[in-house]
A and B are shown apart, each in its own frame.
Chain A
Amino acid sequence: MSLAETKIEKRQDVRPQGWNRPDLIAESGDGELLEVAMGPHHPSTHGVFRMDVALDGERVVRLRPVFGYLHRNHEKIAEGQSYLASMPFTDRLDYVCPITNNWAYALAVEKLTGQEVPERAEYLRVILGELTRFQNHASTIGFLIQEMGASGTPLMYAFREREKILDLFEELTGARMMVNYMRFGGCRVDATPGWLDRTRKVVAGFSGFVDEFEQLLRSNEILMARCQGVGVLKAELAVNAGVSGPMLRASGVNYDIRKVDGYGIYNRFKFRVPLGDHGDVYDRFMIRLLEMRESITILNQALKDVPGGPVMDPKARLRGFRPKPGEAYGRIEAPKGELGFYLISDGGPNPYRYRVRPPSLINLTVLEDMCLGHDIADVVLIFGSVDIVLGEVDR
Chain B
Amino acid sequence: MQTIEEIKSAIEAAIPGAGVEIVTNPSPSGQHSLRLAPECAFAVATFLRDDAELKLDFLSNVTGVDWPDKEISEKVKVTRAVTKTVDGVEQSVEETVEETRKRTEPGYLEAVYHLYSVGKKHGPVILKMRTVNRTDQVELPSLTPVWRSAEFQEREVFDLYGIVYTGHPDLRRLLMWKEFKDHPMRRDYVEPDDFEYEPTAHDEVLKRAQAQKSRDQRSEIRDQGSTTA
**What's the tally of chain B residues with a CB closer than 8 Å to chain A?**
34
Could you jot down 14 A-B contacts, CB within 8 Å?
A112-B27, A239-B118, A240-B57, A255-B58, A324-B26, A327-B29, A328-B31, A329-B29, A342-B63, A342-B112, A342-B114, A352-B65, A366-B148, A394-B175
Q: Are A255 and B175 in contact (CB under 8 A)?
A: no
Q: Which of A73, A327, A355 contacts B27 (CB 8 A)?
A: A327
**Does chain B have a CB within 8 A of A325?**
yes
Taken together as a complex, chains A and B put the C-alpha atoms of A345 and B27 apart, in Å, by 9
**Given contacts A68-B176, A326-B25, A357 and B61 within 8 Å (CB-CB):** yes
Q: Are B29 and A242 in contact (CB under 8 A)?
A: no
A-side residues, CB < 8 A to B, are 67-68, 71, 73, 75-76, 111-114, 237, 239-244, 253, 255, 260, 323-331, 338, 340, 342, 344-345, 352-353, 355, 357, 361-362, 364-366, 394-395
Which residues from 86 to 139 on chain B have a C-beta closer than 8 Å to any C-beta of chain A? Answer: 112, 114, 118, 121, 124, 126
**Given contacts A76-B185, A357-B60, A241 and B29 within 8 Å (CB-CB):** no
Q: Are B61 and A355 in contact (CB under 8 A)?
A: yes
**Residues of chain A lying within 8 A (CB to CB) of residue B184:** 73, 76
Sample of 16 more A-B contacts, CB < 8 Å, known A111-B27, A114-B28, A260-B121: A68-B176, A111-B31, A112-B27, A239-B58, A239-B118, A240-B148, A241-B149, A242-B148, A325-B26, A328-B29, A342-B61, A342-B112, A342-B114, A357-B114, A365-B151, A394-B175
**Residues of chain B lying within 8 A (CB to CB) of residue A75:** 160, 185
Q: Which of B27, B124, B174 contacts A67 (CB 8 A)?
A: B174
**Given contacts A67-B174, A338-B60, A340-B60, A240 and B147 within 8 Å (CB-CB):** yes
**Given contacts A68-B175, A75-B185, A342-B112, A242 and B124 within 8 Å (CB-CB):** no
Q: Are A73 and B152 in contact (CB under 8 A)?
A: no
**Does chain A have a CB within 8 A of B177?**
yes
How far is the CB of A185 from the nearest CB of chain B, in Å? 13
Q: Are B27 and A255 in contact (CB under 8 A)?
A: no
Q: Are A113 and B61 in contact (CB under 8 A)?
A: no
**Residues of chain B lying within 8 A (CB to CB) of residue A366:** 148
Q: Which of A73, A253, A331 contacts B185 (CB 8 A)?
A: A73
Q: Are B31 and A327 in contact (CB under 8 A)?
A: yes
**Does chain A have a CB within 8 A of B153?**
yes
Can you list, as one digit per residue, whether each of B148-161 has a CB less than 8 Å from chain A (1) or not (0)?
A: 11111100000010
**Does chain A have a CB within 8 A of B59?**
yes
Most buried by A among B124, B148, B184: B148
Taken together as a complex, chains A and B put the C-alpha atoms of A111 and B28 apart, in Å, by 7
Which residues from 53 to 68 on chain B have a C-beta closer than 8 Å to any C-beta of chain A? Answer: 57-61, 63, 65
Q: Are A239 and B57 in contact (CB under 8 A)?
A: yes
**Residues of chain A lying within 8 A (CB to CB) of residue B147:** 240-242
**Residues of chain B lying within 8 A (CB to CB) of residue A342:** 61, 63, 112, 114
Taken together as a complex, chains A and B put the C-alpha atoms of A328 and B31 apart, in Å, by 7
